[in-house]
Structure 1
Amino acid sequence: MRFLIAVFSVFLFFGCAAKFTLSDTPKFSQKHFLVEKDGVKSQIFARSGDGFYHFIWLDMLKAPIARKFLRLNNCGEKICAEFENDGFLPPNKEAENLFLNLLENIEKSEFEINLQGQIYKVKNANLSK
Structure 2
Amino acid sequence: MSSIDSQNPKVFALVLAAGRSRRFGGDKRQAALPCGRTLLTASLENAGREFSNVGLVLRADDDAEALGIPAHVTIIRSEHADLGMGHSLASGIAAVMDSADEAVAILLADMPWITPQTLRELASLAT
- Higher relative contact order, chain-length normalized (CA < 8 Å, sep 6+): 2
Structure 1 or 2: more helix by fraction: 2
Q: Tell me the TM-score normalised to structure 2 length.
A: 0.33
Q: Which has the larger radius of gyration?
A: 1
Normalized per residue, the structure richer in strand is 1
